Structure 1
Amino acid sequence: MSKPILIAIDNNVATITLNRPEAFNSFNREMALLFQEVLDQCEENADVRSIVVKGSGKAFCAGQDLKEVTSPELNPGFRKILEEHYNPIITRIRKIKKPIIAAVNGVAAGAGANIALACDIVVATEEASFIQAFSKIGLVPDSAGTFFLPRLIGFQKASALMMLGDKVNASEAEKLGMLYKVFSADTFEEEVHKLASKLALMPTKALGFTKDLLNQSMVNDLETQLAKESELQITAAESEDYAEGVAAFIEKRRPNFKGK
């Protein structure tokens, strides 16, 4: 039986595949806990300098496996699902000091949509769609959806999508600012690979600092944010990658960043 989460590392790019295609890659407890383990491996592995999260089959992720929560034998309960599954996943995605791409190849619904939106860069195929499906079954958005979606597309649009549960296609999601780019299905894998490979060749420390600053910008006032920018800029200026970047600029050559 195949694992519900797969990982492959090649040329400093880690590709994490949500691998329950028969259930549209919906999360059960085993998958959620294994996803956290794999994210930890990516954080600790110095050879990993960019991360791609994608789904196997036709879907990206349909959110929570409702068969699990309606099973008397398997249901872990909503407290465990939130506190031990989704909240730790979102925290890891935002704290890993490496860029994470959500490669949305199909439907991303409920927690699946919000896990994608928590990533640093979201790209999608033309066939992809995003659904805040919670209201359809009497639940509220989780997995930081109420945190990220209003910041991405504005309060009014986010409120409507969460309350009405409308499906948003990839083209509309791009126009709303929910994602970075849409690619055709024929070129999707190639474009994702190019994007991940480009990130893996960039100054990883600086990208991690940028991610940290973006996280803090969600809650900081201007003065606090300026102070944090100064602190991390000074630290970045002491890195090997900065020295290499300046040298390459002066010598008119391509920099060879090492993520140090």
Structure 2
Amino acid sequence: MSDPTTDATADATADATAEVTHTIAGGVAYLTLNRPEALNAITPAQRDRLISLLTEASADPSVRAVVLTGTGRGFCAGADLRGGGASAGEERVAGDVARVIRLGAQRLIAAVLDCEKPVIAAVNGTAAGLGAHLALACDLVLAAESARFIEVFVRRGLVPDGGGAYLLPRLIGPQRAKELMFFGDAVSAADAERLGLVNRVVPDEELEKTSREWAERLASGPTRALALTKQLVNASLESDRATAFAAEAAAQEINMTTEDAREGVASFVERRSAEYRGR
């Protein structure tokens, strides 16, 4: 999937040869993994660039939604195991692996979950290992018919990382999560939709158009209300009722100070369409 055609507000510095391309158009930041020859297996440099771009999008008032996708046949084939790390004969010190995971894969997934703007994954092909978790951490997941999701860790004798054991049970329950993680079988886009891993499956040629339409719709919405809603939903499964209700009340209090909340109420009273500015 290629980046969409950009308008006058697009980031003019986008470099088609970069390993992560970045454009902004119509209030949407488009982040594209760009190593098609490696099915977009993610390097440490790409990971850090994605974290930086997600952090920037979160803080930038001109960005009101994010689309994350890949070029070529793969969305992301996981971490690039050939791109660094200890070699087979290199001695590790206790704590090294945990530190790498914490500062690497987990930090990337947290950047998606903590982004204050809605993040859409447009899964254009294989999403395996960390790549699958990167997609599933997004707020909405669109999948091309050719996409597939693979919990590849067990095939390599590894424990899932990148928050997989946190994300999957919350999406499909513990037994289904264990089935995917224990066997490591590829899950087709259609089966992923049936299981509840993705929101919608579309023909490959319609993925870019649909993701752009969804993102532009989100970008025209009440941005702070969406951020607070995301926060509430993400925290809900760790909260008891009293905590969740208190967080909801606090979010309402904060949101009612925004221009968009006032516009929403005014448009209802005046029987017209709301025009949200993301403020």
- Normalised TM-score (structure 1): 0.95
- Find out whether 1:239 has 2:258 as its counterpart: yes
- Find out whether 1:40 has 2:55 as its counterpart: yes
Counterpart CA distance in 1 for 2:170 and 2:103 is: 25
Cα drift, residue 194 of structure 1: 0.3
1:174 to 190, 193, 203: 193
Q: 4+ residue runs of structure 1 moved beyond 4 angstroms? A: 69-73
Over aligned residues, Cα RMSD in angstroms?
1.8
Q: Percent identical across equivalent pairs?
A: 39
Q: Which residue of 1 aligns with 2:5?
A: none
Cα 1:78–1:24 change in 2 (3 A) is farther
1:104 to 110, 123, 131: 123
Q: Which residue of 2 aligns with 1:152?
A: 171
1:63-102 superposed matches below 5 A: 63-69=78-84, 72=87, 78-79=97-98, 81-102=100-121
Q: Which residue of 2 aligns with 1:61?
A: 76
Moved more, 233-242 or 111-120: 233-242
1:23 to 38, 47, 56: 38
Counterpart CA distance in 1 for 2:259 and 2:85 is: 53
Deviation readout 1:36-81 (Å, 9 max, x if unpaired):
11112212221000000000111000001122257749x9974454
**In structure 2, what residue type is equivalent to 1:155?**
P
* Matched residues, number: 259
Counterpart CA distance in 1 for 2:107 and 2:200 is: 27
Q: Which residue of 2 aligns with 1:248?
A: 267
Given that 1:29 and 1:81 are in contact with CA atoms closer than 8 Å, whether structure 2 keeps it comes out as no
Cα 1:246–1:81 change in 2 (3 A) is same
Name the SS of the counterpart of 1:187 in structure 2.
helix
Cα drift, residue 247 of structure 1: 1.4
Q: Which residue of 2 aligns with 1:217?
A: 236
Gaps in structure 2 of 5+ consecutive residues: 1-15
1:126-165 superposed matches below 5 A: 126-165=145-184
Counterpart CA distance in 2 for 1:182 and 1:200 is: 22
Deviation readout 1:88-146 (Å, 9 max, x if unpaired):
11111111111000110100000000011111111101110000000000001111111
Q: Which residue of 2 aligns with 1:8?
A: 23
Cα drift, residue 239 of structure 1: 1.5
Cα drift, residue 222 of structure 1: 0.8
Gaps in structure 1 of 5+ consecutive residues: none
Counterpart CA distance in 1 for 2:205 and 2:142 is: 14
Name the SS of the counterpart of 1:60 in structure 2.
strand
Q: Which residue of 2 aligns with 1:208?
A: 227
Name the SS of the counterpart of 1:190 in structure 2.
helix
Moved more, 76-85 or 165-174: 76-85
Counterpart CA distance in 2 for 1:69 and 1:247 is: 55
Counterpart CA distance in 2 for 1:86 and 1:72 is: 19
**In structure 1, what residue type is equivalent to 2:263?**
E
- Normalised TM-score (structure 2): 0.88
Cα 1:72–1:142 change in 2 (3 A) is closer
Cα drift, residue 155 of structure 1: 0.9
Counterpart CA distance in 2 for 1:234 and 1:66 is: 46
Cα drift, residue 237 of structure 1: 1.9
Cα drift, residue 215 of structure 1: 1.8
Deviation readout 1:203-223 (Å, 9 max, x if unpaired):
000000011101211211011
Moved more, 122-131 or 235-244: 235-244
Given that 1:49 and 1:98 are in contact with CA atoms closer than 8 Å, whether structure 2 keeps it comes out as yes
